[in-house]
Amino acid sequence: MPVSGAVATSGADNFLKIRKQELIKAFSVGWDINFYIHAAILGGLTILWALYFRDSPSGHPFVARKEYQKITFGKPPKSEKLVNPVRRIFKSLVIWAVWIAVIGNFLVSQFTISYSPLYLSYTLGFPITTAGVLTIAPMGGLLAVKMFTGLASDKLTCIPEVAKIRIFNTVALLGSGMFFILLTMICPTGNAGDVILISEF
């Protein structure tokens, strides 16, 4: 037992030393490398998507004839070619509302993930480790809120589905927008109020 304990303790100690050295190296490189790494990963994934994605299995270079026959077995052949109603899509106010909401949602989430550490570290003067924890905490809270609101939406049977969508989306997007406006109007002081503003939007 003492030998195995010593080995385990030694291994854990070496592991922590290696992690500490990697952490110091990461801090010495700076924040810029994060953006370059993410850009490279997303660029590679985009290239893979362009190579592999097809609208129809018949036009996919990696789908063999036997596999295509299995996919299409029992399905009636298309009698006419479908035309995408592009003009009707662009004229629909519902589609425009969805697009604007999605753009706002991803703008807020990407802004928080990408620039919160920089804002908290360089502008407010928090240590890098603290800035990282304060950045990821709202994302965890957001996940919990989404799970709670999803369950609440399923349980609220007395409200119509369209009304529930309007209520939850209005609360989510209006709240983010209000905190975003306050964040641009209030000068940073480096206290908890700044952290709350950037975390809540």
Query: What does the alpha-carbon distance between residue 166 and residue 160 come to, in Å, rounded to a whole number?
Result: 10
Helix ranges (H only) for the chain are: 2-29, 32-52, 65-72, 86-91, 93-118, 128-155, 161-185, 192-200
Position 9 pLDDT exceeds 70:
no
Query: What does the alpha-carbon distance between residue 21 and residue 12 come to, in Å, rounded to a whole number?
Result: 14
3-state SS, residue 121: helix
Query: What does the alpha-carbon distance between residue 118 and residue 4 come to, in Å, rounded to a whole number?
Result: 44
Query: What does the alpha-carbon distance between residue 122 and residue 127 come to, in Å, rounded to a whole number?
Result: 9
**What confidence category does residue 41 fall into, taking pLDDT thresholds of 50, 70 and 90?**
very high
Residue 65: what residue type? R
pLDDT of residue 57: 76
Q: How far is CA 22 from CA 29, 31, 32, in A?
A: 11, 15, 17
Mean pLDDT value across the chain: 73
- Are 127 and 121 in contact by the 8 Å Cβ rule? The answer is yes
- Are 169 and 100 in contact by the 8 Å Cβ rule? The answer is no
Query: What does the alpha-carbon distance between residue 152 and residue 189 come to, in Å, rounded to a whole number?
Result: 37
Neighbours of 131 (CB within 10 A): 21
Q: Which residues contact 57 (CB under 8 A, 6 or more apart)?
A: 63, 67, 68, 71, 72
Query: What does the alpha-carbon distance between residue 120 and residue 112 come to, in Å, rounded to a whole number?
Result: 11
pLDDT of residue 13: 45
Interval 100-142: pLDDT, tens:
878 877 777 777 777 777 777 777 777 877 777 777 777 777 7
Over pLDDT 70: what percentage of the chain?
71
Q: What is the pTM of this model?
A: 0.47
Interval 170-193: pLDDT, tens:
777 676 677 667 767 777 665 666
